[in-house]
Structure 1
Amino acid sequence: MKESTVDVILHPVRMRIIQQLINQQLTAQQLKELLPDIPQASLYRNIKKLAEACVIHIVDEIPIRGTVEKVYSIQDPKKASISPEELNNLSKDEHMSLFIKFLANLMGEYDRYLKNEENIDLFADGVTFRQTSLFLDDEEFQQFAQELREVYIKYAEKKLDKGRRRRTVATIIIPGETDQ
């Protein structure tokens, strides 16, 4: 049975591979160095699954000592995300499962941060999580969402470079009750 795009993307290891490939071209070896806690066999199996699903692509092949090292990238960011049509076709139980996988991925990121930092300094590291309620009509919400997209786009184009650290930023928007 073929996995849905949602299942392919939301696998915890595959989500981490996708995150590393955003705006980057990396070999499996480079991915292994960036994701040292993932066993090599598991990493290669999940890279293959993402490539078969056309979420990631081979953008170059480098001959090395009689073998070929493949360079992977996300050529079409839409393929590495879940379309509105796919989301609309999910049942309530499938939506909850998707949300749980999303939260599990965030918890994994936070756990890796806590394990890898010798001296935790949430403020200096820029760690933050908070929840707030906004009271917006539909037009104000659309404006807010558009401005948020623009901020994400502006900073998502930056590539890993000296002095830059990958930071995970997650947004969850849950509407409250509809006014009666």
Structure 2
Amino acid sequence: MRKVSPIADVVMHPVRLRIIQQLGDGRRVTTSDLRNALPDVAQATLYRHVAALVDAEIIAVVDERRIRGAVERTFALGERMAHVDHDELRQMGDRELQQSFLTFLAHLGEDFDRASAGSGFREFLGFGQVRLHVGVDDLARIQAGLGELLAPYLAPPDESDATTDRRTVMLSTVLMPDPADQPTGR
């Protein structure tokens, strides 16, 4: 029986995060699509990271077809998706957790750099921080509510609708306890 790697061990690599990002919104992409979307990643490196994601069931092969003697694979997010759950977070050591978070921030910074080079960047940019006063059950309700609120915006706009003014934006979230609000021994 194959040992399943913790998701964090697999996805917390900048190239793998970028591959997963290409599969967001339920998209299906081929290896050719990935090469075009990630031109700065060497082909052999890209294939190695795709194979690691497939092996860990983060992404899945959903179609294969022969093209000029080669097999072209189409990928989608797999069963495990790309989410580190609370059990896996608890199993991480402090250094591993910090490295995972810094990798996430570095990826976010790379996205910011690429996006800021484009036109209309500032019209779709926003960031901030807000304090919420919650319990664990509250977080589940907030996640469910956000899922419901965001659902109409997850599908890409219909390409036949030339009047659409929609652009794709990335919503990145971080939840962490306020360092100034340390729990007391209740």
Task: Please classify the TM superposition score into its range, dividing by the shorter chain length.
Answer: 0.7 to 0.9
Give 1:37-116 correspondences, 5 Å limit: 37-76=40-79, 78-115=80-117
Once superposed, what is the RMSD of the aligned Cα atoms? Answer: 2.5
SS of 2:45's equivalent in the other structure is helix
Give unpaired runs (5+ residues) of structure 1.
Answer: none
Number of the residue aligned with 2:32 = 29
Instruction: Answer 1 or 2: which has greater helix percent.
Output: 1
Query: Structure 1: how far apart are the matches of 2:125 and 2:174?
Result: 16
Number of the residue aligned with 1:151 = 149
**So what's the TM-score if we normalise by structure 1?**
0.81
Shift of residue 58, structure 1, vs aligned partner: 1.1
Shift of residue 60, structure 1, vs aligned partner: 0.9
SS of 1:130's equivalent in the other structure is coil
Query: Structure 1: how far apart are the matches of 2:143 and 2:76?
Result: 28
Deviates more, 1:146-155 or 1:65-74: 146-155
Shift of residue 42, structure 1, vs aligned partner: 1.8
Query: Structure 1: how far apart are the matches of 2:157 and 2:108?
Result: 20
Give unpaired runs (5+ residues) of structure 2.
Answer: none
Shift of residue 33, structure 1, vs aligned partner: 1.6
Q: Percent identity?
A: 32
Shift of residue 108, structure 1, vs aligned partner: 0.8
Query: Structure 2: how far apart are the matches of 1:14 and 1:137?
Result: 32
Q: Give the counterpart of 2:126 among 106, 125, 128.
A: 128
**So what's the TM-score if we normalise by structure 2?**
0.79
Residues 4 and 38 of structure 1: CA distance in aligned 2, closer, same or farther (over 3 Å) = same
